[in-house]
Chains A and B, each alone.
Chain A
Amino acid sequence: MSVITTKGVTKTYNPEKIPVHALNGVDLEIKEGEFTAIVGPSGSGKTTLLNIIGGLDRPSNGSVQINQTDIATLSDNQLIDFRKENIGFVFQAYNLIPVLTAKENVEFVMLLQGKSKAERDSRVNALMKAVGLETKINKRPSELSGGQQQRVAVARALAPKPRFILADEPTANLDSHSTANLLDLMLELNQKENVTFIFSTHDQRVIDRARRVITLVDGKIETDEVRA
């Protein structure tokens, strides 16, 4: 079953002044349980594509369907709610709320969803264990390493049980050891719990571990390779 379907997506920044054609017709289908890397040189449109798939930005042309919903039909505020229920985000940096502890960060979106305390507690504990940080529950982000922060971010993204997780260069600020750890974690979640991941990267070690690799060049899909 496909969770994301894009048809003829284009994105032009500054259409009036100096137009930048960041995406030039992207047709894409992502199925449940995939572990997909979007790769390509800097400026090829990876971030733009992830933002549009994630409902953070709107395409200039074309359509984006997530779980059978055409997100063009949603207002800005509806889109915020839609993201809350359906999409988990892991950004390159500034993922966590600095004044909240790791536990509170993971709990945050569930609180926004109005989930009960019991449900939140059991989920947060399970997730903190899954990302191997059960001992860091009460630490603030500033007390955690970069790798640990990204693992909390993955747990935070997973907490509300989204349909898929978008991660824009999640390992860009990490050393190779932390990068490997984070990839291990993501793969494990993907295999054991069937979590759909879509992440962008230009790190070859990360690309090597992806199960599907979509290469963007100049805002177009050049290759789309599914590995065994």
Chain B
Amino acid sequence: MIPILAWRNTWRNPTRSWVVIIAIAMGIWAAMFMTGFATGMSRSYIENAIQGLLSHIQIHQPEYLQDRSVKSRIPDLAVLQERLEYEENIANYSIRTLATGMVASGNATRGVTIRGVEPEMEKQVSNIATKLQEGDYFESDRKNQLLISRKMADKLKAKLRSKLVLTFQDMEGTITAGAFRVVGIFESGNAPFDEGNVFVKRQDLNRLLTEATADPIPSGELAHEVAIMLRYPETLETTESVFEKAFPKLQTDTYREAAPDLQLYESQIENVSMIYLTIIMLALVFGIINTMLMAVLERVKELGMLMAIGMNKLKVFLMIVVETLLLGLIGAPLGVLLGSLTISYLGKNGLDLSSFSQSLQMYGLSEQVYFDLEPSVYVQIPVAIFITALMAAIYPAFKAIRLRPVEAIRKI
């Protein structure tokens, strides 16, 4: 009987009820939108990073990660390479020689990481080849070709075909330098990366690193980093452990370990969506309290009469709570439906944020955000909002049972 009474009471003032229902639906929708946006953003951020130089798994000599010295090269590269070719799950890998040094034009000098890559291999692993704005990706066979970013070009006042000098320590610790010609200018979309990295062919870098060495290592065996893309990213951890076991002297890292900031970013994004959810819930609490309080106060006499003729406080309390819950029961599915439609649409088509692209690039974020939502969130959000509605019902319901029937009836 209470549900029937509550249901009919709910529709005494349909406009007001719809306002609450729509508020609840909008609250759920907004929470799903924010979470979907945040999840999509963080996934695309991670995906971007992986598609960039990070890849799924990186292998280094452990010391290299500490000292960044060219001397901390990967030993027995050939053995590692053999294994890389053999493992089923490895889609592609790239061997890189890395050096830290300076790049100088006639106008300016910048500190950079010089990345010596095998152009064909690198193309399979990272997307740098697709980020060229001008020039080409090591197309010719000429020696000492260089890729720099648009930012770097601006800072150095360099153009395509400009000659720049790279300076760094060779394997002996001696400062060495080489003149390189700019053949391509890229823009990766990640400003900090663009400011600190240039690309050369690995063979050119290796030659300069080993030329002056007394006991030269064959140029083909010098490398500091192997970046691996997996065929099945789900097998990340197992593949990592395969290499950890097979090469205990090398440091094998998943992208999560290699870039701990990604995890920080992920949790940060989670916190932000929690804050939004809390704000939405608070707004809803006050909205619902206000509405239900109105519904109680305009029925003071009737509630007094109900208690006079024998409806006890628990039943009156429940009636008000159920009235509120009914609004939630209509609003919640509506909100979830709207939210799911929005997420699935924006998951397919993405949300274009190009008007914010400048600031997005500063944080290495992409312009197109494809929304995404963990399946569990489809339950969590409506449940959170539902609990919100329940909590909001309590105060008006208490107000109702605090009425004294005589006083309520006196007002007739």
Contact = CB atoms under 8 A, between A and B. Distances in A.
B312 A97 contact: no
B79 interface: no
A60 to B, nearest CB: 14
A103 B54 CA distance: 75
Interface string B1-45: 100010011001000000000000000000000000000000000
Interface stretch (A37-45, A76-84, A202-210): A76-84
Nearest to B8: A99
B308 A56 contact: yes
Contacts of A85: 310
B135 interface: no
B334 interface: no
A23 B312 CA distance: 28
A109 B310 CA distance: 7
Contacts of B5: 97, 99-100
B305 interface: yes
Contact of A80 (B12, B301, B307): B307
B302 A94 contact: yes
Interface in A49-83: 51, 54, 56-57, 76-77, 80-81, 83
A112 interface: yes
A47 B410 CA distance: 9
A77 B313 contact: yes
B283 interface: no
A80 B305 CA distance: 11
B412 A81 contact: no
B13 to A, nearest CB: 11
B306 A83 contact: no
Interface in B187-231: none
B310 A56 contact: no
A56 B309 contact: no
Contact of A84 (B9, B305, B310, B412): B310
A98 B305 CA distance: 12
Contact of B312 (A81, A89, A95): A81
Contacts of A92: 412
A99 B9 contact: yes
Nearest to A90: B309
B308 A89 contact: yes
B309 A89 contact: yes
B315 A51 contact: no
A97 B8 CA distance: 11
B406 interface: yes
B405 interface: yes
B271 to A, nearest CB: 45
Interface in A86-134: 88-89, 91-95, 97-100, 108-109, 111-113
Contacts of B259: none
A146 B406 CA distance: 22
Interface in B378-409: 405-406, 409
A119 to B, nearest CB: 15
A111 B302 contact: no
B305 A57 contact: no
Contact of A93 (B306, B311, B405, B412): B412
Contacts of B306: 97
Contacts of A94: 301-302, 305, 409, 412
A107 to B, nearest CB: 9
Contacts of B309: 83-84, 88-89, 108-109, 156-157
Interface of A: 47, 51, 54, 56-57, 76-77, 80-81, 83-85, 88-89, 91-95, 97-100, 108-109, 111-113, 156-157, 160
26 contacts: A56-B406, A56-B409, A76-B313, A77-B312, A80-B310, A80-B312, A81-B312, A83-B310, A84-B309, A84-B310, A88-B309, A89-B309, A91-B412, A92-B412, A94-B301, A95-B305, A97-B305, A98-B12, A99-B5, A99-B9, A100-B8, A108-B309, A112-B311, A112-B312, A157-B309, A160-B310
Interface of B: 1, 5, 8-9, 12, 301-302, 305-313, 315, 405-406, 409-410, 412
Given A77-B313, A94-B301, A94-B409, 19 more contacts: A56-B308, A57-B406, A76-B313, A80-B310, A80-B313, A83-B310, A84-B309, A91-B409, A94-B305, A95-B305, A97-B302, A97-B305, A97-B306, A98-B12, A100-B8, A108-B1, A108-B309, A109-B310, A157-B309
